[in-house]
């Protein structure tokens, strides 16, 4: 048995080699860049108007109106002292523009423009290079692409990005009692649900599974199922069959498939019978079958590995501290990831902390970490991961 810290360190310390690939811009969300990026040109590339209004030459309150420039116009316009042109947001400002006045502060009659106030030099002009100058560092390698990053890369004209590949994931669920939702079931059977939680959590963080297999509680079937799954993945996530029951064949089947154990059993609640192993460059997590344990272990342990394999520098869910709404004492005898709800800045530990209780987890939005024996008074800070 290892502690939570030892288990997390074992995952973080794995030596891995990252693969890279080129991704179209519209498929690159959530990938980490595999090269540094510099600006190929100034952004903006030309002085342009921040407003719909008038481009002015010189500082006056009355101008001669001499024309119009719209966004996208490429004709060269040049102003003389005392002249103004109608201009629109994003349009290139004419040569000799001193300022742009927003249209709400103007009145135009025939060829005369009157301003409600004196303009100021440079007002409402977005300067060439105001965001980035040519050659400037934009992103370091390993930057994880969020939506504004995609916009920035697009504005640099880049349509293909060099990124680190994401791992290929396969899922195996085990259990004679499991029936696929939508299919008829008999007495003693239950619907298989863990794979939906896992594939949902994968999608939540920009991953997806490649293959999903349901296996009966049989040693030969488990061994064969693991062998097949290992043929086509970087990370294999198994649910159930890793405990100490007579029908738990996963651990032995992993050994027979040449997977080396890195840790088995973590001193925590839920999710004590968690297994982590490695075969060459492939990794295996065997998650306890109880639904809340399995998903909790995904968030705490599997996610950091998937992100590390994707080239992320910061992995796992961020821990935030929130004051607890009511006093709480952890009497479970193990450090616990508790199903919790953060409402209006306060954390409430939910009823239904059992390892099988997915309904409380489904209604909450966080895992609150409370140490073994820890006693919390109302208002004490609790470390929470938002799920
Ligand atoms: P196990 O870890 O295989 O001993 O399973 C522990 C508990 O979790 C049992 O009550 C199982 O029926 C349940 N369980 C295991 N796998 C799943 C699954 N994929 N979906 C829903 N419940 C499961
Ligand atoms: Mg089972």
- pLDDT tens for each residue of 117-129: 999 999 999 999 9
Q: pTM for the full model?
A: 0.95
Q: What domains lie within the chain, and their CATH numbers?
A: 4-17+166-309 (3.40.980.10), 20-42+130-164 (3.90.105.10), 48-126 (2.170.190.11), 319-386 (2.40.340.10)
Q: Output the CA 241–ligand 2 centroid distance in Å.
A: 4
Q: What pLDDT was estimated at residue 247?
A: 87
The answer to whether 17 and 23 have CB atoms below 8 angstroms apart is no
Distances from the Cα of 320 to the Cα of 314, 323, 374, 386, angstroms: 15, 10, 18, 8
Tokens 């629109």 correspond to 88
Q: Give, as one character, the DSSP assignment of residue 103.
A: G
Tokens 């004051």 correspond to 323
222-235 pLDDT, tens digit per residue, is 999 999 999 999 99
Helix (H, G, I), strand (E, B) or coil at 263: strand
Residues with CB under 5 A from ligand 2 (ion): 175, 240-241, 289
Q: Output the CA 97–ligand 1 centroid distance in Å.
A: 71
62-120 pLDDT, tens digit per residue, is 999 999 999 999 989 999 999 999 999 999 999 999 999 999 999 999 999 999 999 99
Q: What pLDDT was estimated at residue 249?
A: 96
Q: Which residues have C-beta within 8 Å of that of residue 169, sequence separation ≥ 6?
A: 202, 207, 208, 209, 210, 233, 234, 235, 236, 237, 306
Confirm or reject: Cβ of 355 under 6 Å from ligand 1.
no
Confirm or reject: Cβ of 191 under 6 Å from ligand 1.
no
Atom 3 of ligand 1, nearest CA residue: 240
Pocket test for ligand 1, best of 175, 212, 238, 248 (most atoms within 8 A of CB): 175
């Amino acid at each position: 048995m290892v502690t939570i810290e030892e288990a997390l360190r074992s995952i973080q310390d794995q030596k891995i080699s990252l693969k890279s690939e080129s991704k179209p811009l519209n498929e690159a969300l959530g990938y980490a860049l595999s090269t540094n990026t510099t600006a190929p040109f100034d952004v903006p590339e030309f002085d342009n108007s921040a407003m719909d209004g008038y481009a002015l030459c010189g500082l006056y309150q009355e101008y001669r109106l001499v024309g119009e420039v719209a966004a996208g116009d490429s004709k060269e316009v040049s102003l003389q002292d005392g002249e103004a042109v109608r201009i629109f947001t994003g349009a290139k400002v004419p040569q000799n523009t001193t300022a742009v006045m927003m249209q709400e502060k103007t009145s135009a009659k025939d060829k005369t423009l009157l301003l409600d106030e004196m303009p100021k030099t440079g007002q409402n002009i977005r300067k060439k290079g105001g965001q980035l100058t040519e050659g400037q560092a934009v992103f370091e390698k390993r930057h994880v692409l969020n939506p504004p990053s995609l916009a920035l890369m697009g504005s640099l004209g880049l349509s293909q990005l060099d990124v680190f590949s994401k791992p290929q994931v396969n899922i195996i669920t085990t259990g004679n009692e499991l029936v696929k939702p939508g299919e008829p079931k008999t007495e003693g059977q239950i619907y298989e649900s863990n794979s939906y939680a896992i594939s949902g959590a994968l999608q939540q963080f920009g991953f997806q599974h490649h293959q999903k297999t349901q296996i009966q509680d049989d040693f030969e079937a488990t061994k064969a199922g693991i062998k097949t799954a290992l043929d086509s993945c970087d990370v294999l996530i198994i649910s159930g069959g890793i405990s100490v029951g007579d029908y738990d064949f996963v651990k032995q089947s992993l050994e027979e498939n040449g997977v080396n154990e890195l840790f088995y059993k973590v001193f925590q609640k839920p999710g004590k019978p968690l297994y982590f192993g490695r075969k060459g460059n492939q990794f295996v997590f065997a998650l306890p079958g109880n639904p809340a344990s399995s998903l909790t272990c995904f968030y705490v342990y599997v996610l950091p590995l998937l992100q590390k394999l994707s080239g992320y520098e910061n992995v796992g869910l961020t821990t935030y501290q929130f004051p607890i709404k009511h006093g709480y004492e952890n009497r479970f005898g193990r450090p616990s990831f508790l199903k919790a709800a953060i409402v209006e800045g306060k954390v409430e530990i939910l009823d239904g902390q059992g390892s099988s209780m997915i309904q409380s987890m489904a209604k909450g939005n966080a895992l609150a970490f409370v140490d073994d024996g820890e006693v919390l008074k109302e208002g004490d800070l609790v470390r929470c991961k938002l799920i």
